Structure 1
Amino acid sequence: MINNPITQLEQLTLTSASKNFLRETARWAKFLAILGFIFIGLMVVFAIFATTIFDLAEKMQPGIPGDLGLIMAAVYLVLAIIYFFPVYYLLQFSNKMKKALATKDDDVLAKSFEMLKSHYKFIGVFTIITISLYILVIIVSVMGAI
């Protein structure tokens, strides 16, 4: 058998230190995913009560627009839906990594890394979109000021 670098890479093994690092990473990922789901729940609760809160605020402070509560409810629901996906991918990574390390199943290990890739890909694309929107808002603001 020819021993070239490509063949060597196909036989990557995890040392006990690597397994411990992955196990600890999976624990932290699960912790962050649980916190993420809690915050998603809080966003949904706020969205449900946003119209009531802003109706009361409008009565106390007459300058507040009447439909602001509905707008805020929609914004928080959209943000909760967007935030769900990276949190879900992170939880799936954690669960699959723990299972892969316990069962020594290469397919589950690969699936766990696929979930981690999906998490970071989502965060990366979302970050690019957010930065693009900030740049667009700055350009529009500067053009409006001229």
Structure 2
Amino acid sequence: MEENNYSENLQNQENLNKEEPKTLVFNLSIEDLLLETAKWGKFLAIMGFVFTGLIVLVGLALSVFGTSMLSNSPLGAIGGAALGFIYMLMGLVYYFPSKYLYDFAVYIKQAVLIKDQESLDYAFSRLKSVYKFWGILVIILLVFYAIAFLFGIASAIFMSMGS
């Protein structure tokens, strides 16, 4: 009797696999939510572009004027050019998620308004890129923090052994 149930379950599963794939339906409520998400996404992306520009400007200023401004500071040894380069690199890193988010906002709005499947696909690929970018960056930072933590522990051990 158990074999019979098993074969029936297998046959039912095969019949399910032969059925047409189901499609998702975006009703008006979901379309409204996507349009609101696009508005906030566009706002956050534009703010990201603004802050990227400000970070790059600070980096340029530090590169040009940083050595004289930091001469009496403990950071004077690093030099303004190096610090400016770090700031410009941070600006570059911050640009990409802003661009991906902006693309998502523009294309999701287009997809909803003109019912364009290609725009919807592209919009969600850009949203995936936002999450992937931040996920990879968080992993890199966690590894960096773990190495710094281990280096700190090792330094403390060596310092205590020396005294």
Same fold (TM over 0.5): yes
Instruction: Output the TM-score relative to the length of structure 1.
Output: 0.88
Q: Is the 8 A contact 1:57 1:64 kept in 2?
A: no
Match of residue 42 from structure 1: 54
2:43 is aligned to 31
Which sits farther off after the overlay, 45-54 or 88-97?
45-54
Q: How does 1:1-146 map to 2 (within 5 A)?
A: 4=16, 10-59=22-71, 61=72, 63-146=74-157
Q: Which has the bigger relative contact order, CA under 8 A and spacing at least 6?
A: 1
Supply the distance in 1 between the matched residues of 2:48 and 2:102 (Cα, whole angstroms): 10
3-state secondary structure, aligned to 2:70 = helix
CA distance in 1, matches of 2:32, 2:17: 26
Q: By how many angstroms is 1:57 displaced?
A: 2.5
Q: Residues 63 and 130 (structure 1 numbering): CA distance in 2 closer, same or farther, change over 3 Å?
A: closer
Q: Percent identity?
A: 31
Q: Which ranges of structure 2 fall in alignment gaps of 5 or more residues?
A: 1-13, 158-163
Q: CA deviation at 1:36?
A: 0.2
Q: TM-score, normalised by structure 2?
A: 0.80
Aligned Cα RMSD in Å? 2.2
C-alpha distance 12-57 of structure 1, shift in aligned 2 (>3 A): same
For 2:41 and 2:73, how far apart are their aligned partners in 1? 45
Amino acid at match of 1:101: V
Which residues of structure 1 form unaligned runs of 5+? none
For the residues of structure 1 that align with 2:61 and 2:101, how far apart are their CA atoms? 28
